[in-house]
Amino acid sequence: MKRTKKSNHKPTAILSGDWHLREDQPVCRTDDYWTAQWDKVAFIAEMQRKYDCPVLHSGDLFHHWKPSPYSLTTAIEHFPYPLHIVYGNHDLPQHNLDLTYKCGIRTLEAAERVSVLHETHWGEVPEGGSIFFPTYNSSRVLIWHVMTWTGERPWPGCQDPTAEEILDRYPQFDLILTGHNHKTFIVEQDGRLLINPGSMMRMAADQENHEPCVFLWYAETNEVERVVLPHEKGVVSRDHIEARDDQDDSRYQAFIKGLQEDAPQISFRANLEEFFRQQSTGKKVKEMVWGSVEE
């Protein structure tokens, strides 16, 4: 992996995103998902204490904007601190930034367990000149919940910017940390980095081979070190998809095949986003649709 090294220096920050913490069990998982996710949070919190550095989080802290009281209590007890975050689409009621006062993240902010950054939440386009963007050792950092990708287009007709385009658009930042795409990747351009940590958990059948990880970032040299989070193999099952394959309906089969080839979690939402874009759907209608998707 490019621009990576093992350093003897203390890392400046731990980079992570897309934790999607939840109390229910994803249909593809055969293990104790609740324990698996909090073990990963505990591992990150332990690293935070060891290196005494902040955790930077690129959004989708929770799977739903209204996490259960049990999830919130566990978060208060076990989160690393400091934890700097932006709102992801899953963190927001109806994808609406005016409603953050209702969100679970707001509870954690009021309890002073997280600090929420400005102007780079889901749906926002950073101005780039804002005083709010964090700086470490004179390295400027952009933390943004936005769909981005590199290499193979994630789905036909995807209009979202590539990592390379985002690096071009924001030359003032040394490090750009993104979330939303659950795949892990790094793109380097002239010593500048875009890091997309990917999801902390394997939540969908197509993520069987995904390796959950975080990155240690060293501002002095602008390098990162990938740290794989301890995780159990063989706990992601396709049985729920294969059982449905038995049904004798060719259109349904084709749909399921599409799911198998794509990322089910992200593609449904991405398809909806794409549909809204093509239809120039109004804000009110979009909010109603996202509201019912959250149910």
Q: Among all residues, whose Cβ is closest to Mn ion? A: 60
**Min CB(180)–Mn ion separation in Å:** 5
Q: In angstroms, what is the minimal distance from the CB of 270 to Mn ion?
A: 11
Does position 91 bind Mn ion by CB under 5 A? no
273 binds Mn ion (CB under 5 A): no
Nearer Cβ to Mn ion (63/192): 63
CB of 198 to Mn ion, least distance (A): 9
Binding part of the chain for Mn ion, among 12-20, 65-73, 160-168, 219-227 by CB under 5 A, reads: 12-20
Gap between the Cα atoms of 93 and 103, Å rounded: 7
- Segment near Mn ion (CB under 5 A); pick from 18-26, 69-77, 133-141, 209-217: 18-26
Instruction: For residue 206, state whether it binds Mn ion (rule: CB under 5 A).
Output: no
Q: How far is the CB of 88 from Mn ion (least distance, A)?
A: 6
Site for Mn ion (CB under 5 A): how many residues? 2
- 160 part of the interface to Mn ion, by CB under 5 A: no
Binding mask 32-71 for Mn ion (x = CB under 5 A): ----------------------------x-----------
Which three-class secondary structure string do you get for the chain? CCCECCCCCCCCEEEECCCCECCCCCCCECCCHHHHHHHHHHHHHHHHHHHCCCEEECCCCECCCCCCHHHHHHHHHHCCCCEEECCCHHHCHHHCHHHHHHCHHHHHHHCCCCEECCCCCCCCCCCCCCCCCCEECCEEEEEEECCCECCCCCCCCCCCCEHHHHHHHCCCCCEEEEECCCCCEEEEECCEEEEECCCCCCCCHHHCCCCCEEEEEECCCCEEEEEECCCCCCCECCHHHHHHHCCCCHHHHHHHHHHHHCCHHHHHHHHHHHHHHHHCCCHHHHHHHHHHHHC
Comparison of 218 and 290: residue with beta carbon closer to Mn ion:
290
18 lies in the binding site for Mn ion (CB under 5 A): yes
Supply the minimum distance, in Å, between the C-beta of residue 143 and Mn ion.
Answer: 14
Based on the shown chain and the rule CB under 5 A, indicate whether residue 174 belongs to the binding site for Mn ion: no
- By beta-carbon proximity to Mn ion, the closer residue of 60 and 174 is 60
Binding residues for Mn ion, rule: CB under 5 A, are: 18, 60
